[in-house]
Amino acid sequence: MSDVKKFMYLNRRAPYGTIYAWESLEVVLIGAAFDQEVSLMFVDDGVFQIVKGSDTSELDMKNFTPTYRTLGDYGVRHMYVDKKSLEDRGLTQDDLIEVAWEDWETEEEVDNIVEVVDSEQIAKLLEESDVVFSF
Amino acid sequence: MADLYTVNKSPFEKNSLEDAIRFSSEGASILLIEDGVYGAMAGTAVSDLVANASGRKFYALRADVKARGISEDRLIDGVELVDYAGFVDLVVECDKVQAWL
């Protein structure tokens, strides 16, 4: 289908301190209903959005880390994470949540769509996207 | 007792923590809250800000640390976790509060 566009959601803010991460997630979930090719990119403090082990019980805020885990079910095919942003924050892929993906029609499965990429790959991925939404 | 400095911004995004430390006096208490708690993590590109600041006592708000998935063993040595009551105690004990945003 020729009218499928590549959407890239570029996330650069930490969760909970500001509303950006949650708003981005909302837009991704809404956009997922339109059968487009959706990818997420996590750069700078955005990598903190998908760090596992979040516990907001003392904060009076919804813990939305579990929502990221469902994104594969909403048709999100790729979640890219900037390697340098992780390294600057003392994090590795082991600190991040895993998100599974499955194509209901072809039964193709991917255990984890979270992928660490370098600057060059990110530049290419952004350039190849039809639309980039920044949060 | 000297002043209490609160910092609520990520040290990777703004220089609030750096400035709060730079413009604080010996004996100051510096409390990291909200996205400011990322400044309490060991092994990051900005850990030295807190690790090398002598004569200042650092605190981090437990609720914000937990919400961000930061386990206690990842905190810089010497950073003390406080709950909301501990926050209030610091406010009462210190001369006044300076909010670094």
3-state secondary structure A41-74: EECHHHHHHHECCCCCCCCCCCCCHHHHHCHHHH
Q: Cβ separation of A55 and B66 shorter than 8 Å?
A: yes
In chain A the domains, ranked by start, together with CATH numbers, are 6-134 (3.40.1260.10)
Is the pLDDT assigned to residue B86 strictly greater than 80? yes
Nearest CA in chain B to A45: B12
| A48 chain-B contacts, CB cut-off 8 A | 38, 68-69
The verdict on a CB contact (< 8 Å) between B10 and A45 is: yes
What ipTM was predicted for this assembly?
A: 0.88
Q: In whole numbers, what is the pLDDT of chain B averaged over residues?
A: 97
Region B7-31: what's the mean pLDDT?
A: 97
What is the model's pLDDT at position A3?
82
B51 has a chain A CB within 8 A of its CB:
no
Q: What is the pLDDT of residues A50-80, one digit of tens each?
A: 999 999 999 989 999 999 999 999 889 999 9
Structural domains present in chain B: 4-100 (3.40.1260.10)
**Count of other CB atoms within 10 angstroms of residue A17:** 23
Q: Is it the case that residue A105 has pLDDT exceeding 90?
A: no
Which H or E run includes B93? helix B84-93
CB contact under 8 A, A53 and B13: no
pTM of the predicted model as reported, rounded to 2 decimal places: 0.92
